[in-house]
Structure formats: C-alpha cells, structure tokens
Amino acid sequence: MSSTHRRMMKLGAFLPAPGHHVAAWRHPDTCADGGHSFEHYRSLAATAERGMFDMLFLSDSAGVRTKYRDADELSRQGRMVHFEPLTLLSALAVHTSRIGLAATASTTYNEPFTVARQFASLDHLSAGRAGWNVVTSATDAEARNFNLERQPEHAARYHRAREFMDVVTGLWDSWEDDAFRYDKESGQFFDPEKLHVLGHRGEHFQVRGPLNVARPPQGHPVIVQAGSSADGQDFAARWAEVVFTVQQTLDHAQTYYRGLKKQVADHGRNPDDVKILPGAFIVLGRTKAEAEDRYAELQDLVDPVVGLGMLSYQLGMVDLSQYPLDGPLPELPASEGSAGKQQIIYEQARRDGLTIRQLYLSVAAGRGHRFLLGTAETVADELEDWFVNEAADGFNIMPDCLPTGLESIVDLLVPELQRRGLTRTEYEGSTLRDHLGLPRPAWTARSGS
C-alpha cells in the first residue's frame, strides 16, 4: 500500500549539540564544541534529512539551565552554550531542502509581534518548513535575565501564553494569501482589501499590527508544544499540532494519548490533526552487547556533581545536596517548573525503588524520557508496539551522543522501520505540514480587520 494511504510514524530529530546523555560531551566520538559549530549542525541536519525525518527539533531557554553552587560545578556542564535556534535554523534552511525546522521560543520572555515575525520569516526562508515549539519557560534563571527575580507562577504563565497565541496567529493572518500583486504597470504593490489590521487589546498585550511579513507559506508555521501538566495538556488541546511528551510505560502513554486526543475533540478540533510524539532516548548497537558497552561507557563518564545537578533541574530546581545519595528520593514540595516531568520522575523512583544516585544516573541518559537500548530490530519492535497500540503517532528521537548516535539511527534503525512500512522511503511533499499530514490553516478574519 502506498505510504500516502496509510498511517506513517512521524519522527523528530531532537538534536542538542553534544547529544542527550549528560556526559555526551566527554565521549571521544562527540564534538565537544558543537554548540558553536555551524558545520556540526549542518552535518547533523544533512544526516537527519537523509533519514527522511519529518523535522529537526531544537530546544532552547533564555538562560543557563542549571542549579549550580559554584563556578566549578558550572564548568562541568556540557550544554551551557549554543546558538540562538532561530538564527541557526535560518542558516540551515539554505543547506537543507525537505526536513522541517522547529525551534523553541518562550511566550513568557518574548513579545508576540517579534515571535510572529521571526517564525513567518523562517517559514518563507525555508519554503514552508518552520515549526514553533511553544514554551512558557520553567526556571528563575531565565526570569533574572528579564528584569524579574522569580518566574511568574505556573497558571499565570499559561494565562499569558493563551493570549500570546491569539495575537501571534492573528498577526500571521494580517495578509490574505494573494494580497500582494506586485503589479508594476498599475503601480499597485498589494490589494488594500486584503490587508487586515489585528487591533488586539487584551489583558497582557496591545498589538495593532499588521505584521510586516507576508502570510507564511504554510498559512501558520506548525505549532509544537511539550506540556504534560493539566494546564499544558489543555493548552496543547487548543493550539498544538505536534505534542512532545514524556512517557515511560505503555499504559501511561496510552492513557495520555487517549486523554489528550479527547481533549482535542472537546475543543472542536480533529484529533488526527494533533500528532503525539513521546521522546525516545536511544542507545543503538549492531548487537545488544555493543549497545550495552556503549551505554556503560557513557555512564562511566557521568560526573556525580553534574548528575545530581541534572536531577535537581529535572525536579524543578529542588536542592538535593542535603540528602544521602544512596538513600531514597524524599518527598519534596511541588515546583513551579515542569510539573508533568517532575511527577513522572517521582513515579519512576518509586516504581523502580531507585536511590538518588541511581535516579540521577537514569536521568543522565534520557532526562526522564523513555529509554531504549538494543539493536535496530529490538528498538523497532518497541517503537512499533507503541505506534500501533494508541500510545504514539511517532517519536521525538533523542540520540545518546552526536554525531555517531544519529548516524547509527539513520543507518540501522530507519532502514528497519522502512522495511516494516512504518516510515517513508522518500519525501512526498515539500512543507512540514505535508510531512506530518496536517491541513494548511485557511485565512481567518480577526477582530479589527
């Protein structure tokens, strides 16, 4: 059966510069300075495009994302610095031709007009391949770079984000698709009837518009979101088209998948227009023993100071230094950070009876995401099981270290998925919406038009 008539597994390539393992930067195969190497990213993008991935995914924050006590602790971190992602993706747009280009921008520390303009521009520069990963941010470190001592509380961040989305999508519809005539003979650059001024006045924003970029090729760039909390899921059900989620077991993934699809329907949207992609941290080998040796090598490189700091960050910047490393994870107060991921890590610690040391070694790998180790065949079995059993529409693939982890996935795992008819063997469309099977939003008149 042609891939255009069957459900296909969607794949994101989630590519922090050194890889996802917290010690990846120390591995001999890894480009330690990749965060500041365009050639490193260009090569990664080419590899992901060769593997027919739907999109390249770059996370970001507006600050150094760690809780460190001193300069020595900070100096041991491997992901402190990297390019601003929209700048990087704009450069990668001219070195790729098909793969989607998705990046993070915060609704808490940006203005809607700026974000609308940036992503509309990226969509034009890439001929319709842009995606926006919408975040509300989760750390006080970011707040302190924007005239605040502490981040706004969780509900307030989502309240602002909802209005932010109304403004951004309204700005993307400032111009109808055929507004620009470029008629040299008549002297008419655009049809004034097809220009629409947003005129938004709300609780958080007053934005007149219009946007000074034509309507994006995709209508709207694809909206990606990664919330797991109740607020995050409600936001995703209203706005998201791709949902990046943290799930570790089939039962939990199925519950999340079915629940979110129902919420999407409750918002009057087609559940098929939202693709749920759990993160999958993968350590691959030609044999299981080879994969196990690779993982052991990475685990041996974990600095205890870094491992504990990473766990503290994933739990919402809680201070674990006062507790014994070989004791259980204590009950800790809820944080204002990533509430959904915090709960999943707690559940893992209780379910598997892990000490703090064992837990930070686990988090050092997948940061709370599903961990798959083995051969192409065994990893494909696991991915297929979730895909066919209402747990996922695909996966945000998280290579252990780069570039070798991604190369192994493209050379070993992708051909196995293709052999099973689960992923494409060639790109059939040109835009990110084409790849994901998402409709192009029709132009909509907004208030003030």
Q: What digits encode the pLDDT tens for the residues 175-200?
A: 999 999 999 999 999 999 999 999 99
Higher-confidence residue of 75 and 439: namely 439
What local confidence, expressed as pLDDT, does residue 304 receive? 83
Residue 90: φ, ψ to 5°: -65, -40
202: how many CB neighbours lie within 10 A of its CB? 13
Average pLDDT, stretch 302-318?
79
Average pLDDT, stretch 363-386?
90
Higher-confidence residue of 80 and 240: namely 240
C-alpha–C-alpha distance, residues 322 and 396, integer Å:
35
pLDDT tens for 122-135 read 999 999 999 999 99
What local confidence, expressed as pLDDT, does residue 79 receive? 60
What local confidence, expressed as pLDDT, does residue 335 receive? 57
What local confidence, expressed as pLDDT, does residue 255 receive? 96
Reported as a pLDDT band with limits 50, 70 and 90, residue 57 is very high
| Crossing angle for the helix pair 85-93 and 112-125, to the nearest 10 degrees | 20
What local confidence, expressed as pLDDT, does residue 138 receive? 78
Residue 278 DSSP label? E
Q: Is the pLDDT of residue 269 over 80?
A: yes
Q: Is the pLDDT of residue 2 over 50?
A: no
Average pLDDT, stretch 253-270?
97
Average pLDDT, stretch 385-401?
97
Distances (CA, A) of 35 to 19, 58, 88, 201, 218: 10, 11, 10, 39, 29
Average pLDDT, stretch 295-321?
82
Residue type, 116: A
* Nearest CA-CA partner of 440 in 128, 93, 196: 128
Average pLDDT, stretch 392-403?
97
95-104, 280-289, 307-316: least confidently modelled range: 307-316
Reported as a pLDDT band with limits 50, 70 and 90, residue 312 is confident
| Averaged confidence pLDDT in the chain | 90
For the chain, the helix, strand and coil percentages under 3-state DSSP, each to the nearest 5? 40, 15, 45
Reported as a pLDDT band with limits 50, 70 and 90, residue 363 is confident
Distances (CA, A) of 401 to 32, 37, 89, 190, 424: 10, 15, 20, 49, 25
Average pLDDT, stretch 388-415?
97
Reported as a pLDDT band with limits 50, 70 and 90, residue 402 is very high
C-alpha–C-alpha distance, residues 342 and 320, integer Å:
14
What local confidence, expressed as pLDDT, does residue 1 receive? 35
Task: Calculate the CA 224 to chain-centre distance.
Answer: 7
Average pLDDT, stretch 232-243?
95
Mapping DSSP onto H, E and C, the string for 94-125 reads CCCCCCEEEEEEECCCCCHHHHHHHHHHHHHH
* Nearest CA-CA partner of 406 in 83, 94, 51: 51
Higher-confidence residue of 97 and 309: namely 97
